[in-house]
Structure 1
Amino acid sequence: MDESTFQAYEEEIQALEEEIRLLTEKYEDIRQESTFFSEEEILKSIKSFQRETQGETKGHDSPSDLKAQLESLETNLSFLMEFTGFHFTSHSKKTVEKTRDRTVQKHRLSGKCYSLSFQLEFQLLEMQNNEKVSAVVSDLSIIMESREDSNVSKFVSSAEERGDLLTFFRSLLTYAEWHEHRRRTFLHFKAKYPDIVTLPEGLLGDFIILKDPKISGFELMIVWKIHLDKEGTTTPVLDLLPKAPKQVLEQRMSVESIPGKFRSALRLFGIEAAIENLIKVVGSEK
Structure 2
Amino acid sequence: MDESSFQAYEDEIQALEEEIRLLTEQYEDIQQEESTFFSNEEILESMKSFQDETEGHESLSDLKAQLESLERELSFLTAVTGFHFTSHSKKTVEKTKNGTVKKHRLSGKCYSLSFQLEFQLLETPNSEKVSAVVSDLSIIMDSREDSNVSKFVSSTEERGDLPTFFRGISTYAKWHEHRRCTFLHFKAKYPDIVTLPEGLLGDFIILRSPKVSGFELMIVWKIHLDEEGTTTPVLDLLPKIPEQVVEQRMTTVESIPGCFRSLLRLFGIEAAIENLIQVLDSEK
TM-score surpassing 0.5?
yes
TM-score bracket for this pair, using the shorter chain length: 0.7 to 0.9
* 1:1-286 mapped onto 2 (5 Å cutoff): 30-31=37-38, 64-250=61-247, 254-286=252-284
Distance 1:138 1:276 in 2: 48
Distance 1:260 1:215 in 2: 21
Distance 2:252 2:186 in 1: 25
Cα RMSD of the aligned pairs, angstroms, is 2.3
Query: Hey, what does 1:12 align to over in structure 2?
Result: none
Change (3 A) 1:258 1:149: same
Distance 2:256 2:273 in 1: 12
Question: 1:230 is matched by which residue type in structure 2?
Answer: E
Distance 1:129 1:63 in 2: 36
Question: 1:113 is matched by which residue type in structure 2?
Answer: C
Deviation at 1:100, TM superposition (A): 3.0
CA deviations 1:136-195 (Å, max 9, x no partner) are 100000011110111110000000000000011001111111111111111111111111
TM-score (ref. length: structure 2): 0.75
Q: SS at 1:30's partner residue?
A: coil
Query: Hey, what does 2:46 align to over in structure 1?
Result: none
Question: 1:31 is matched by which residue type in structure 2?
Answer: F
The runs of 5 or more residues in structure 1 that have no matched partner are: 1-25, 34-61
CA deviations 1:25-70 (Å, max 9, x no partner) are x7x993159xxxxxxxxxxxxxxxxxxxxxxxxxxxx965555455
Given that residues 36 and 89 in structure 2 are in contact (C-alpha distance below 8 angstroms), is that contact kept between their aligned partners in structure 1?
no
Change (3 A) 1:126 1:194: same
Query: Hey, what does 1:4 align to over in structure 2?
Result: none
Given that residues 123 and 140 in structure 1 are in contact (C-alpha distance below 8 angstroms), is that contact kept between their aligned partners in structure 2?
yes
Given that residues 85 and 109 in structure 2 are in contact (C-alpha distance below 8 angstroms), is that contact kept between their aligned partners in structure 1?
yes
Deviation at 1:98, TM superposition (A): 1.4
How many corresponding residue pairs?
232
Q: SS at 1:254's partner residue?
A: helix
Identity over the aligned pairs, expressed in percent?
82
Q: SS at 1:31's partner residue?
A: coil
Deviation at 1:266, TM superposition (A): 1.1
TM-score (ref. length: structure 1): 0.75
